[in-house]
Amino acid sequence: MTDALFYQVAVQSPLRRLFDYLPAVETGPVLLPGVRVTVPFGKREVTGIVVSHTASSDYPVTKLKPISAVLDSAPLFPPVLFTVLLWAARYYQHPLGDVLASALPTLLRKGGDLPQQNFWRLSTHGKGLPNDALRRAPSQQALLQLLQQHEGLSRDDLSTAGVSAATIRSLVNKELIESFSTTLTGANFAPDGEREILAEAPLSLSSDQQDALDNIEFKAYHSYLIDGETGSGKTEVYLQAITHVLREGRQALVLIPEINLSPQTLARFRARFHCPIALIHSGLSERQRLEAWWAAANGSAGIIIGTRSAAFVPMQAPGMIIVDEEHDSSFKQQEGFRYSARDVAVMRANRENIPLLLGSATPSLESLYNCEQQRYRHLSIKGRHGGAAQAAWQLVDIRHSQLNTGFSQSVLEAIKTQLSEGNQILVFLNRRGFAPTLMCHDCGWVANCKHCDAHLTVHTHRPGLHCHHCESRQALPSSCPDCASVQLNYLGQGTERSEATLQALFPEAIVHRVDRDSTGNKRAMETLLEQINKNEPCILVGTQMLAKGHHFPAVTLVVVLDADTSLFSTDFRALEKMGQLITQVAGRAGRGAKPGVVMIQSHHCEHPVFELLSQHSYGKFAQHLLHERQLSAMPPFSNAALIRAEFHQGGEALALLQRARTYLESQMPSSPTLRYLGPFPAAMERRNGRYRYQLTLIGNERRDLHALLAALSHWLEQDKGARKIRWAIDVDPQDTI
Ligand code: ADP
Ligand code: ZN
Ligand code: ZN
């Protein structure tokens, strides 16, 4: 009797467990981890992924069903990547089936094929013919002979050989040839003996850049923080490090934040290298995504540039991972599988034993702390390239001052001067819409969202009241619903209002608004960037979209309209994010030949963070915040996790978290090294009709915290009351604690 064989299969389901199956009825070789299968699951057939096999099962054999079909002849994930995925499921306490599924392009998740390649070959009938059988039709005879000499030829091969579509059709009609398809193999990006991959000469590096490059050890894992302000030449260091990797015949993965990759950056990659570059981002069709994913997996792409989810893309010969703008919070997925692509990249590089470059002008406190702890190597690049001087910072105290819809007199004068000198101005305000609040002057009524604990935002471009939290919309009322007064006031300002104000004050000037509403599609953003890059005088008003990635060489003045909102936030990362954002925005100024000025309006100019930031010292600012975090034993000096629960009735979600806390304390009582906070209502208790609560765990020992979370997720799955409640475990949360 042969040994029994059971497969443990991961299926997309909310349950944190695997399911046992018998081998498929049609026997074949033992299935390796990472192979997709179709399995019966409840009443459905679903796509699952083989995780392991064993000789015994905890379930009665008679209850187990066989695998219905095997979809892949080889695993979709190389072994090292597979271990990273297993780690990620454990670390983030997320069901493995869901983790594996999210690492696959949708088409593969649904059970589709890998990209196929079509070939032509002789049919059985065709094979029997003598090679001069088609003497009277020379072109058909030529095709016959070609296919007699070569096993399978693609449409491209045939075109190159001068075979027309009509000739192919004739032989198909005579049933002499047939097409067949196989998985596209893709030529390696760097065939042996053809390792010259540079399409242009690299720039000669500054001494800081050279130092950074020289410090990189290519043959083993290490993490490097490349810290240099915008324009200091980090990208050039990446390009040269990548050159080294490609020459070794290995691939480089570059992760970027969830934004449209700036066309300039992509153009620089394309101009530098001959090799194919695969782009993986949310703007692709399902088919394009599959093709890009496959180009990485089969080694035909030398460079893979992608957003968050690309952290899990298989590579045939991984050589280096780069995370650009590593501080960016979009690397953390905020729902479902709540992973941090940056942290996954660190683990992946470690397991693959390859270097990891983390780049930023404003590194995260985590990464700076890791440098202090000597876990990462800190490589600084000082100064800017092209001789552009650093911008001068100016804090504008707006206490007691008369503001014109948010603008102080000194800011307006500065804008006027810059315009008259033919320069561009960037006005930063991280709030979309016209006004964040609509209020009745006579009775104090405020337009609130029915579904959220939030005010509705007044919009004038797509006129109406919009909720920025649940996306619900309604028409602008012409009178107060409570007292019928028509005295409705707009309080505060968003980008639309600043745009209108500036246009009214400077009727001659061109004002561009750059926010999610004005750049809804990719084309709109590109058109706008083209306009701006003509370097004609104009004013740009926008949200954080302006802070990211783009180069605006003609901007000489940056105005931060409202720097105060983050000073009093409950989010423990608010100040860090504010400092990063302001530094990034400021980095947009004076990148061209002219020096820049940064003006920051605040009611709290004496706040130490502004002082530190304005001395051009993001580093000192970060040290200050790190010190505060240390005093309060907050991350990165401790590890945090949130248990979130939401339900359309408040009481039950809260009660679940209270029971969860009791359970947790029975497992591990709170102590100076393990703190439980809450459950408390979320910063916005009701959102989209659901009441939201959270319980926070802060522990000094990661190991303890993870043991607790594993026990808790098991407990939550068993708890009857938890079933109807939407709950989630968020490890290393980005927002409020
Ligand atoms: P970052 O990625 O830090 O923003 P970049 O690499 O994009 O910086 O460099 C900013 C500008 O300076 C680019 O236009 C780039 O071509 C130029 N640059 C970078 N390094 C050098 C160098 N070693 N010599 C000359 N120009 C350079
Ligand atoms: Zn009223
Ligand atoms: Zn709402």
Closest CA to 581 of 259, 260, 325, 258: 325
Spatial CB neighbours of 507, under 8 Å, sequence gap ≥ 6: none
**Nearest-CA residue for atom 24 of ligand 1:** 203
Q: Bigger pLDDT: 727 or 152?
A: 727
Domain 639-731 has CATH 3.30.70.360: yes
Tell me the two tokens of residue 369: 């702390």
Q: Provide φ and ψ at 680, rounded to 5°.
A: -125, 160
**Where is average pLDDT lowest: 466-470, 638-642, 648-652?**
648-652
If phi > 0 it is left, if psi is from -120 to 50 it is alpha, else beta; for residue 381 that is beta
CA distance 643 to 90: 16
Closest CA to 267 of 256, 280, 257, 277: 277
Report the residue count for the chain: 737
CA distance 20 to 65: 8
Closest CA to 443 of 483, 486, 488, 491: 483
Element (H, E) at 586: helix 574-586
Tell me the two tokens of residue 582: 């302001």
pLDDT at 630: 95
The second-level CATH assignment, the architecture, of 388-434+493-629 is 3-Layer(aba) Sandwich (3.40)
Average pLDDT over residues 463-490: 95
**Nearest-CA residue for atom 11 of ligand 1:** 231
**Nearest-CA residue for atom 8 of ligand 1:** 233
**Where is average pLDDT lowest: 184-193, 390-399, 661-670, 671-680?**
184-193
Distance 476 CA to ligand 2 centre (A): 14
Distance 447 CA to ligand 2 centre (A): 10
203 in ligand 1 pocket by Cβ < 6 Å?
yes
Q: Bigger pLDDT: 276 or 28?
A: 276
Q: Among the ranges 124-128, 355-359, 420-424, which has the highest mean pLDDT value?
A: 355-359
233 in ligand 1 pocket by Cβ < 6 Å?
yes
**Residue 190 pLDDT > 80:** no
Q: CATH fold of 207-295+302-386, please?
A: Rossmann fold (3.40.50)
Spatial CB neighbours of 139, under 8 Å, sequence gap ≥ 6: 163, 164, 167
**Where is average pLDDT lowest: 413-417, 434-438, 550-554, 693-697?**
550-554
Average pLDDT over residues 471-487: 95
As residues whose CB is below 5 A from the ion ligand 3, the structure lists 449, 451-452, 467, 469-470
CB 646 within 8 A of CB 726: yes
CA distance 404 to 412: 9
CA distance 256 to 265: 11
Cis peptide before 636 (omega within 30 of 0): yes
Which of 210, 235, 390 is the pocket-test mutation for ligand 1 (most atoms within 8 Å of CB)? 235
Neighbours of 91 (CB within 10 A): 19
Closest CA to 142 of 117, 187, 177: 177
pLDDT at 593: 67
**Nearest-CA residue for atom 20 of ligand 1:** 233
**Residue 117 pLDDT > 70:** yes
CA distance 686 to 420: 49
The second-level CATH assignment, the architecture, of 6-109 is 3-Layer(aba) Sandwich (3.40)
Distance 484 CA to ligand 2 centre (A): 6
In this structure, which amino acid lies at residue 466? H
**Residue 179 pLDDT > 90:** no
Distance 265 CA to ligand 1 centre (A): 11
pLDDT at 397: 94
**Residue 1 pLDDT > 50:** no
CB 619 within 8 A of CB 583: no
pLDDT at 188: 77
3-state secondary structure (DSSP) of residue 201: coil
CB 575 within 8 A of CB 608: no
**In whole angstroms, how large is the CA radius of gyration of the chain?**
30
Tell me the two tokens of residue 33: 């981890």
CA of 440, nearest ligand number: 2
Distance 202 CA to ligand 1 centre (A): 11
235 in ligand 1 pocket by Cβ < 6 Å?
yes
CA distance 455 to 443: 16
Q: Looking at ligand 1, which atom is closest to the CA of residue 268? A: 16
pLDDT at 735: 78
**Where is average pLDDT lowest: 6-10, 247-251, 528-532?**
528-532
Q: Provide φ and ψ at 404, rounded to 5°.
A: -100, 105
Q: By CB neighbour count within 10 A (0-12 exposed, 13-18 middle, 19+ buried), where does 171 fall?
A: buried
CB 300 within 8 A of CB 250: no
CA distance 257 to 324: 8
pLDDT at 674: 95
Q: β-strand 538-542 against 511-514: which pairing, if any?
A: parallel
| pTM, to two decimals | 0.91
Q: Provide φ and ψ at 673, rounded to 5°.
A: -105, 0
The angle at the Cα of 313, spanning 304 to 581, to the nearest 5 degrees, equals 65
205 in ligand 1 pocket by Cβ < 6 Å?
yes
687 DSSP β-pair partners: 690
The angle at the Cα of 381, spanning 377 to 387, to the nearest 5 degrees, equals 175
CA distance 735 to 721: 27
Distance 516 CA to ligand 3 centre (A): 18
CATH number given to 116-183? 1.10.10
pLDDT at 317: 95
CA distance 661 to 669: 10
234 in ligand 1 pocket by Cβ < 6 Å?
yes
CA distance 89 to 632: 30
Cα–chain center distance at 139: 53
Average pLDDT over residues 428-442: 95
Q: For residue range 528-574, what is the model confidence (pLDDT) as tens digits?
A: 888 888 888 999 999 988 877 677 888 899 999 988 888 888 788 98
Cα–chain center distance at 558: 27
Q: Domain spans of the chain?
A: 6-109, 116-183, 207-295+302-386, 388-434+493-629, 639-731
DSSP for 212-273, please give it.
Answer: HHHH--TTS-EEEEEEE-TTSSHHHHHHHHHHHHHHTT-EEEEE--SSPPPHHHHHHHHHHB
265 in ligand 1 pocket by Cβ < 6 Å?
no
The two domains 116-183 and 388-434+493-629 share their CATH topology (first three levels equal): no
pLDDT at 571: 83
Q: β-strand 355-360 against 473-474: which pairing, if any?
A: unpaired
**Residue 371 pLDDT > 90:** yes
**For 456, which DSSP code?**
P
Cis peptide before 679 (omega within 30 of 0): yes
